[in-house]
Structure 1
Amino acid sequence: MTAIADPKAPRPPRARPSRLTTRGNTELYGWVFMRASGVVLLVLIFGHLFVNLWAGDGVKAIDFGFVAGKWADPIWQVWDLLMLWLAMIHGTNGVRTIINDYAERDGTRLVLKSLLYLAFLVTVVLGTLVIFTFNPCPDAAPDLLPSFCTAR
């Protein structure tokens, strides 16, 4: 039979973190960033949903042509870029906090955070490239182009 330790019994003191593991104000800045970016993300996301779903013809109107027309306007490129970057930084910071809270071994924490930062970097770089290099009318055979592209 296994004995369960008394939850009210005093615990042995924890070792103080070394100077290398002390985070200083980084956690405070992360906490403040999460609150501020959450508010900005709400505005960006609901603006995105309003334009894409309610202002137009609803979800049935969202297709390649809709996105191409939207990204032809620099305002929507910047809007979507801000939404991508803030969402990725916000989410990465949240997962980083979870890893710090639950990964007990330093090696595990290092591997998980390295994978997290790599996923962040790949997603942000590819997303940014797609937003700014998107060309709905490339040089191709006219029968392969969308209907809104004029023949060259």
Structure 2
Amino acid sequence: MTAQSTTQIPDPSTRYRRTGQRGINTEMLSWLFMRVSGVLLVILVFGHLFVNLWLGEGVKGIDFAFVAGKWASPFWQVWDLLMLWLGLIHGGNGVRTIINDYARGSTMRLVLKGLLYFAVVLTIVLGTLVVFTFDPCPVGADPSLLPSICEG
């Protein structure tokens, strides 16, 4: 006679830990961030497209002067910065999940995630510098090289 083992399936409405892990559930926070940032990105991107393409002259109206005029306003600087930060962190988090799912060895996973984090941080830093240090009319520049908005 053989002994039968029974498997108990926990009630799905209760929280339980399969790994015995303690502390903050970072994967749950990551999942939640993806949902919230995704909704915010949809609003930011469609707002960006609406203002730049529909209210303006379309693609033909977007040039250096258009961007310079837009970034003269702190509102649009913050808007574009939020798109940059949320887009990069959202995308980086998605790629991190893919690396965790498909990278076979722990060393390969570590290298790939290190490269990913480096690329995301570098792009965020450089993009933030561009948004906040952009000056379409630098002092001492050759006037023939400056856009028409700098005249006067």
| Per-residue deviation, 1:104 | 1.4
Query: Which of structure 1's runs of 4+ aligned residues deviate more than 2 A?
Result: 16-19
Structure 2: which 5+ runs fail to align?
A: 1-17
State whether structure 2 residue 151 is matched by structure 1 residue 150.
Answer: yes
Amino acid across the alignment from 2:127: G
| Per-residue deviation, 1:100 | 0.3
Instruction: Pick closer, same or farther for the CA change 1:119–1:133 going to 2, 3 Å.
Output: same
Amino-acid identity (%): 68
**Corresponding residue of 2:92:** 92
State the distance in 2 between where 1:18 and 1:50 align. 48
| Per-residue deviation, 1:142 | 1.1
State the distance in 2 between where 1:73 and 1:24 align. 39
**Corresponding residue of 2:15:** none
Structure 1: which 5+ runs fail to align?
A: 1-15
Per the normalisation by structure 1, the TM-score is: 0.83
Cα root mean square deviation, aligned: 1.8
**Corresponding residue of 1:79:** 79
Instruction: Pick closer, same or farther for the CA change 1:95–1:131 going to 2, 3 Å.
Output: same
| Per-residue deviation, 1:17 | 6.9
Amino acid across the alignment from 1:62: I
Amino acid across the alignment from 1:68: A
**Corresponding residue of 1:128:** 128
